[in-house]
Amino acid sequence: MVDVADPVCGPGEVLLRVRAASLCGTDNHIYHWDASIRPRIEKATGGVSRSLTIGHEFCGDVVEVGSEVRGVARQASEPIEVGDFVSAESHIVCWECYSCRRGQHHLCERDVILGVERDGGFAEYVAIPATCAWVNREPMVPEVASVLEPFGNAVHAATEYPLEDASVVIFGAGPIGLFTVVVALAEGARDVVVVDPMAFRLDLAKKVGATRCIETVALPADDAAGREAERQRVVRAIHESCADGRVDLCFEMSGHPDAIDNALRALRRGGKMIAFGLSRDNEVPFRRYSQDVVFGGITVKGIIGRKIYDTWYRTRALTAQPDVREKIQTVVTDVLPFQDWNIGFEKMARRESGKVVLRLD
């Protein structure tokens, strides 16, 4: 923890007094200065000569509004004023590239990420572009408002295809997998099955409403027969958990090749798999490509970030429901004072937590 100069609020920006910030796996990689993230940060900071305030999941109160941010206009929907309580969208997009011009800002070719390539929210004050400030209108405790960014990942993933009457399987019960349970149920999914190797996480899944939890068993890489038997057991358990044995939608939030394989096997013809989890190895075998993907008429869709602003409007509709806010709070297993940030990172490393939030107020 160090003293840094108070950030300056640019003409198109707002200055926030941070109230809460939550830990993400990416922060953990930065904290441990992992090879996977180092180049991106070094490039952004111009080497290690300059420090960077990390943290891209946070909320705070507006204490200053830049001179070129439009004022309150009757009719205009999202004027920002001093005193507003906002959650931050972490991606600063360029609004000019091909993706942005086609309404796919989450795929911006020149995006800059708060807390990764520019100072973020693990600080008392942070300046962010007004376009990244989402005004919360619902009564919301800071630990909920600070996790709307990852919750928005789940909203984006879960609203890509219709959920009404759908049988859904979620592979991976980390925070975003758990949020996906919450969203899928709120949007009318019929069966919500969660598959994960850890009992602690499956317990959380049950608490937020999963209709069935399936615990997987890790087997040594060289036990081919055992692993195939395990795969068959898992797919059978999935089918038995869904009405008519029909799986409409799989959310792959773990990045594990076996999970990807199980997802494709379990899906009905015409089903969809959301690819969100990053695999440890870049290469992933699609074991039954012709059989499952082609003959099955299956769709695999990669999802990153949040749609700007469709996902945020949908997030608002969801968090307007007290029940949804309560479940988000259930996923937040640890709320710590800001100075205990290192305790938070340790809990995360042991994977004995849902989401960890640091409070500053």
Residues numbered 289 to 318 that lie near its own copies (CB under 8 A) are 289-304, 309-310, 313-314, 316-318
| Coil, helix or strand at residue 177 | helix
Q: Which of residues 200-259 bind its own copies (CB under 8 A)?
A: 243-246, 255
Q: Which stretch binds its own copies (CB under 8 A): 82-90, 214-222, 263-271, 338-346?
A: 263-271
- Distance of alpha carbon 223 from alpha carbon 237, whole angstroms: 21
- Distance of alpha carbon 60 from alpha carbon 174, whole angstroms: 25
- Distance of alpha carbon 273 from alpha carbon 318, whole angstroms: 23
270 binds its own copies (CB under 8 A): yes
* 26 has catalytic annotation: yes
107 binds its own copies (CB under 8 A): yes
CB-CB contact of 275 with 252 (8 Å): yes
- Distance of alpha carbon 114 from alpha carbon 88, whole angstroms: 9
Residues counted in the chain: 361
* 299 has catalytic annotation: no
H or E element that contains 59: strand 58-65
Min separation Cβ 346 and its own copies, Å:
26
Q: Which stretch binds its own copies (CB under 8 A): 24-32, 192-200, 220-228, 277-285?
A: 277-285
- Distance of alpha carbon 41 from alpha carbon 94, whole angstroms: 19
The 67-106 contact track toward its own copies, x by CB under 8 A, reads: ---x--x-xxxx---------------xxxxxx-xxxx-x
Angle (CA) 330-328-318 rounded to 5° is: 150
Min separation Cβ 310 and its own copies, Å:
7
- For residue 130, which amino acid is it? A
Q: Which stretch binds its own copies (CB under 8 A): 22-30, 46-54, 142-150, 267-275?
A: 267-275
Closest CB to its own copies among residues 150, 344: 150
Min separation Cβ 152 and its own copies, Å:
14
- Distance of alpha carbon 264 from alpha carbon 170, whole angstroms: 12
Closest CB to its own copies among residues 93, 114: 93
Residues annotated as catalytic (active site), given as ranges: 26, 29
